[in-house]
Structure 1
Amino acid sequence: MHSVGREYHRIMDSAGIPDLANKLQRLFRTIPQPDGRGWYTNEVVVRELAAGGVPVTVQHLSNLRNGRRDNPSARLLAGIAKVFGVPVGYFFDSAEEKRVNEDLETLSQLRRMGGLRLRGDLDAEGLVQLLGALKEIQRMEGKGNGED
């Protein structure tokens, strides 16, 4: 079994996914819907999940977001990850979570600076490309300063 799969089953056999509510809230607060449609709501995510063959109720998603539940199915987690364009490992692999959180923090900083206004005009893939370009610029600047 793949190591991420083993980690998921180890966590799910325990009391649930640690800090799941905060991870979900971060996704909802940071990643906009494609095509400038604004922020995701529970209702929008439930519709997206249903369109992908993963039925869930608004109440169940709300319970996950608010910390009343922390034990979603692997299928539901994979669906949520797909909706937001993050790897499913974000929910239970600390290295993956750290990497995604760094990307999300970069996006938040860009918004706060006001130099770049993202109002949902980029989808998840566009955000990944933007963050990749920013990392490449940082890498190139580091080499120019004698750093690596």
Structure 2
Amino acid sequence: MAESVADKINALIDERWRDLPKPPGNAAIAREIRRETGLSISTGYLWMLRTGQRGNPTGDRLQALAKFFGRPPAYFFDHEVTSADMELAACLRQQGVRMIALRADGLSEQSQRAILELVERARRIEKLDDADD
């Protein structure tokens, strides 16, 4: 199923503030976008995007969203991008994760499985997946 601009923005907001019980409100998010990017987006416009009342951000607003969430502007209009793609992109923004993935490229399937086993063991040690059990 294709995700709308509203779905994508809401998912990005949830991802960015995943460690909080709920993300901040639109006014706080708009302030944070202005603070981090130097580009302005109004609280009302952000609300319209998040509720689907506007679905085609352009110009400075599109640039602000793209820069703030670390996505290319085209991301908001690519209907083939899924939530799984978004999760992967978020993980790959972390330099260590990106380096592991890049260095594993070209290794045999057996070596890739061995690396995955090490990662799974480290996640168990750090109790990162306890909530999934």
TM over 0.5: yes
Q: CA RMSD in A?
A: 3.7
2:30 match: 46
| 1:106–1:131 Cα contact (<8 Å) kept | no
Among candidates 128, 139, 145, match of residue 94 of structure 2: 128
Please give the alpha-carbon distance, in whole angstroms, between the structure 1 residues aligned to 2:39 and 2:5: 19
Aligned length: 108
2:12 match: 27
Unmatched 5+ stretches in structure 2? 113-133
1:145 is paired with a residue whose SS is helix
Unmatched 5+ stretches in structure 1? 1-17, 109-125
Please give the alpha-carbon distance, in whole angstroms, between the structure 2 residues aligned to 1:47 and 1:27: 16
| 1:45–1:80 Cα contact (<8 Å) kept | no
Most deviating of 70-79 and 129-138: 129-138
Correspondence list, 1:113-124, <5 A: none
Identity value in percent: 23
Please give the alpha-carbon distance, in whole angstroms, between the structure 1 residues aligned to 2:105 and 2:41: 42
1:85 match: 70
Instruction: State the Cα distance separating 1:106 from its structure 2 match.
Output: 7.6
Counterpart residue type for residue 73 of structure 2: V
Which protein has the larger Cα radius of gyration, Structure 1 or Structure 2?
Answer: 2
Query: Which of structure 1's runs of 4+ aligned residues deviate more than 3 A?
Result: 36-41, 105-108, 136-140
Gap change, CA 1:76 and 1:129, over 3 Å in 2: same
Among candidates 64, 73, 89, match of residue 49 of structure 2: 64
